[in-house]
Structure 1
Amino acid sequence: MSIASITKQPVKTQQETKTVYNILFIISLCHLLNDSIQAIIPAMFPILEGSMGLSFTQLGLIAFALNMVSSVMQPVVGFYADKKPMPYALPIGLTSSLLGILGLAFAPSFLTILLSVIFIGLGSAIFHPEGSRVAYMAAGKRRGLAQSIYQVGGNSGQALAPLITALILVPLGQFGAIWFTIVAAIAVGLLTYIAIWYSRRLSITNTASKPKTEPKVKNEAISKSIITALIIIIFLIFARSWYVSAISNFYTFYAIDKYHLTIAQSQVYIFIFLLMGAVGTFFGGPLADKYGKRNIIIISLLSAVPLTIILPFVNATVSIILLALIGFVLMSSFSVTVVYAQELVPGKIGTMSGLTVGLAFGMGAIGSIALGAMIDFVGLTPTMITVALLPIVGILAFLLPTDHMLVMWQKENK
């Protein structure tokens, strides 16, 4: 080993192991701003139903347009960025969301609302995989904690949706969305700062990187096991996303119908669910760092089963308590799933983030339209009883490779 390589090595090690907390907190704040913008869409459902006379199926289509654009594009953006990172795509993406918010505030018809949410979905699709890459780069050795800090911003933004409805959209109506152009502008400014740090970090990493060696022959058994594990993850994301979609998009109507609440009062239930989901997201990462990612995924889904099953049959007070517990437990695996997938396929940070987070949005999109149609067909109560069984799919998590196995695969493929 040359003297030059010896002197360069400590710089590289420090960059890789140091957790850059200020960047993590800023990207988490940007995630909050981005997802609070996205959360306006389902938050406006009761408003749009009343002002435009939209059906549950049409509301489902709006959610479908928003989430499907972001979910389909996220893996594409992540895959491209793995080959060629795009630091300044972050502020560009939020600019797209800003344009979507402007359109939403003035949209006169169902079709213009769809067009506006497509712009918002595109901005979200660009933000999420690159935001997750920033969290990964700033994580050091604490990847679970870093991903939790990043993801808790997004879940907190989603949790703001009921408050947005009660404090802004109910008194101001559809035009109240115009206030979120300010939110988008702030996010663009912060992400420009992040993009500058991102670019500098890439320069340091590229300078310190080792020369490429000849690739090893892939272990076919490991490759097949990885594909199997990814399929299992898809099923787990499906179960979690459909349940969260049912609660966040339609439980407000269920609470109004069953407990005879106003729109503002019903938003408290969704706020509690999403707020505790954000808390669960934060704690899930550090717990996974300590007890293992696979273990947290298993516990998260299966321990939610009895809670979701009894939720449709309790009174208004107990339902708030149950929603808080379900949100905390179920969402504790959200950031953990992302990190697990990133370590399952090393070197594909953007792709795996885009796949897992994008898939969550996509599954939620499909769930929105399917559940909306189901509610129109069989009613609110039968639908809520049916979706309560979804977390049982978590039993498939026992088939996932252990954390120790992932480490062994990574060593073998180096």
Structure 2
Amino acid sequence: MMQAIIPAIYPQLERTYHLSLSQIGVITLCAQLSASVFQPVVGWLTDKYPQPFSQLTAMALSSCGIIVLAYANTYFQIIIAVMCIGIGASIFHPESSRVANLASGGRLNMAQAIFQLGGYAGLACAPLLVVMVILPNGQQSVLWLLLLTFLGKILLLYVGLWRRRILQSGFQKANRHMEDIRPLNRKQVRRSIVVLLLLIFSKYFYSAGISNYFQFYAIGNFGATEEQAQMYLFYFLLSTAIATLIGALVADRWGKIFVIRLSVLGSIPFAVMVPYGDITTAVVLITVVGFLISLSFSPILVYAQQLMPNKIGMVSGLFYGVAMGMSGIGTAILGSLADVKGIDYIQNIISLLPLLGLVVFLFPQRTKDGFYIA
């Protein structure tokens, strides 16, 4: 929710500080890069030197970002605020993904989906918080989020103590449920990791494009109010939250590869139709696309972790980090293009992003010896 509150208040920031869409894109770039650059490093360090209370530190950093955002009155201060929130996220994700594996009881897809469901629920609730609290009461009302961060710190203290007990007991392997996975050879592993990163990039880039710019598209092209635009964004983000859990259930039943293919290929026809409908059609279509592309997130992450079972933290940080960083760069470029070409132009570009999912056909083929994680 703390991360999602930033794009949710973009229209208000644009109006208050007279920002251009390229400046909005730079805010997103700073938020995404700060949330991404450190993640593989944090994951690698915690693989070697476990830090059971790192999540608590992450929540404290993000809380500082919320305070700065509440009192920011310059563009530079907004940048500082989003970077604090982003760095908190970069510390939080790798260790949290490891904890989800430890607590999975063998149901890896479901464990990752439940963890991600919390994140997507926060993303979906951010527009509602803006409509009900921030728009009526102003920028400083984001301080209400600190109540949630206080509760979060209590929960994370409990998680940290639980994790420390596991470390003290000498049981430090987060990959105990992955040892029965037959490994691919090194070349196949590299190829699969690259394909999975491209799929995650496609998903994050599309989601970032919709989260940051669909509000402006709805307001500028169809005369939607700011409140209506926030609700459209809520529908999209809610669909991603629901799909995360459903994708894990389907993956446990029919396999990760089936879900990944269904997700990336099924979303393409709906995405390309978005720019050609009225506002109702467009909202329905982005909601469907959001649902489909989010089915595969936990299967993709679990698949990557199974490919490199001894580097759970680094892999998790790599996937969260690279996806966020690259989508942040892409969103900044889209913002600059929007200032020059208009919001319609970038909506057309966003609608084509799911076509990147065609790289799913580059997965290593199943061999006679059964090399293919299904």
| Length-normalised TM-score, structure 1 | 0.84
Alignment check: 8 A CA contact 1:337 1:356 kept: no
Report the counterpart of residue 78 of structure 2 in structure 1.
113
Name the CA distance, whole Å, in 2 between partners of 1:188 and 1:403.
Answer: 45
Report the counterpart of residue 347 of structure 2 in structure 1.
384
Partner amino acid, structure 2, of 1:320: V
C-alpha displacement at 1:99, in angstroms?
Answer: 0.8
* Deviation digits for residues 97-149 of structure 1 (CA, Å, limit 9, x no counterpart): 11111111001101111111111111111111111111000002110111111
Which of 195, 212, 226 lines up with 1:249 in the alignment? Answer: 212
Instruction: State how 1:129-168 maps to structure 2 within 5 Å.
Output: 129-168=94-133
1:337 paired to 2:337: no
C-alpha displacement at 1:394, in angstroms?
Answer: 1.4
Structure 2 spans left out of the alignment, 5+ residues:
175-182
Name the CA distance, whole Å, in 1 between partners of 2:39 and 2:253.
Answer: 29
> Whose radius of gyration is greater, 1 or 2?
1
2:37 is paired with a residue whose SS is helix
1:174 paired to 2:139: yes
Which of 281, 286, 296 lines up with 2:259 in the alignment? Answer: 296
Give the 3 Å change call, closer, same or farther, for CA 409–332 of structure 1 in structure 2.
closer
* Deviation digits for residues 16-48 of structure 1 (CA, Å, limit 9, x no counterpart): xxxxxxxxxxxxxxxxxxxx0111111110111
Give the 3 Å change call, closer, same or farther, for CA 43–204 of structure 1 in structure 2.
same
1:314 paired to 2:277: yes
Name the CA distance, whole Å, in 1 between partners of 2:302 and 2:39.
Answer: 16
Partner amino acid, structure 2, of 1:381: D
Give the 3 Å change call, closer, same or farther, for CA 271–208 of structure 1 in structure 2.
closer
Which of 10, 21, 35 lines up with 1:45 in the alignment? Answer: 10
Partner amino acid, structure 2, of 1:157: G
Name the CA distance, whole Å, in 1 between partners of 2:354 and 2:337.
Answer: 19
Task: Give every structure 1 segment of 4 or more consecutive aligned residues whose post-TM-superposition deviation is greater than 4 Å.
Answer: 402-410
Partner amino acid, structure 1, of 2:269: P
Partner amino acid, structure 1, of 2:17: M
C-alpha displacement at 1:280, in angstroms?
Answer: 0.6
2:2 is paired with a residue whose SS is helix
C-alpha displacement at 1:405, in angstroms?
Answer: 9.5
Bigger shift: residues 284-293 or 188-197 = 284-293
Report the counterpart of residue 31 of structure 1 in structure 2.
none
Name the CA distance, whole Å, in 1 between partners of 2:326 and 2:130.
Answer: 24
Which of 307, 322, 332 lines up with 1:369 in the alignment? Answer: 332
1:328 paired to 2:299: no
Instruction: State how 1:223-238 maps to structure 2 within 5 Å.
Output: 223-238=186-201
| Length-normalised TM-score, structure 2 | 0.93
1:204 paired to 2:158: no
* Deviation digits for residues 180-213 of structure 1 (CA, Å, limit 9, x no counterpart): 111211111110000011111223353899xxxx
* Deviation digits for residues 77-111 of structure 1 (CA, Å, limit 9, x no counterpart): 11111111111111111001111111110011011
Name the CA distance, whole Å, in 1 between partners of 2:208 and 2:369.
Answer: 31
| RMSD (CA atoms) | 2.1
* Deviation digits for residues 64-84 of structure 1 (CA, Å, limit 9, x no counterpart): 111101111111111111111
Alignment check: 8 A CA contact 1:74 1:354 kept: yes
Name the CA distance, whole Å, in 1 between partners of 2:345 and 2:211.
Answer: 17
Give the 3 Å change call, closer, same or farther, for CA 406–379 of structure 1 in structure 2.
farther
C-alpha displacement at 1:318, in angstroms?
Answer: 2.0
Name the CA distance, whole Å, in 1 between partners of 2:89 and 2:204.
Answer: 17
C-alpha displacement at 1:319, in angstroms?
Answer: 2.2
Alignment check: 8 A CA contact 2:364 2:372 kept: no
Which of 4, 29, 32 lines up with 1:64 in the alignment? Answer: 29
Which of 92, 109, 124 lines up with 1:127 in the alignment? Answer: 92
Report the counterpart of residue 32 of structure 1 in structure 2.
none
Name the CA distance, whole Å, in 2 between partners of 1:205 and 1:41.
Answer: 41
Alignment check: 8 A CA contact 2:274 2:285 kept: yes
Give the 3 Å change call, closer, same or farther, for CA 208–67 of structure 1 in structure 2.
closer
Give the 3 Å change call, closer, same or farther, for CA 208–312 of structure 1 in structure 2.
closer
Give the 3 Å change call, closer, same or farther, for CA 168–207 of structure 1 in structure 2.
closer
Name the CA distance, whole Å, in 1 between partners of 2:205 and 2:169.
Answer: 41
Alignment check: 8 A CA contact 1:293 1:403 kept: no
Alignment check: 8 A CA contact 2:39 2:317 kept: yes
Name the CA distance, whole Å, in 1 between partners of 2:73 and 2:279.
Answer: 36
Structure 1 spans left out of the alignment, 5+ residues:
1-35, 210-218
C-alpha displacement at 1:374, in angstroms?
Answer: 1.4
Aligned-pair identity in percent equals 38
Count of residue pairs brought into register by the alignment: 365
1:38 is paired with a residue whose SS is coil
Higher helix share: 1
Which of 323, 344, 353 lines up with 1:360 in the alignment? Answer: 323
Alignment check: 8 A CA contact 1:78 1:129 kept: yes
Name the CA distance, whole Å, in 1 between partners of 2:207 and 2:67.
Answer: 27
Name the CA distance, whole Å, in 2 between partners of 1:159 and 1:383.
Answer: 23
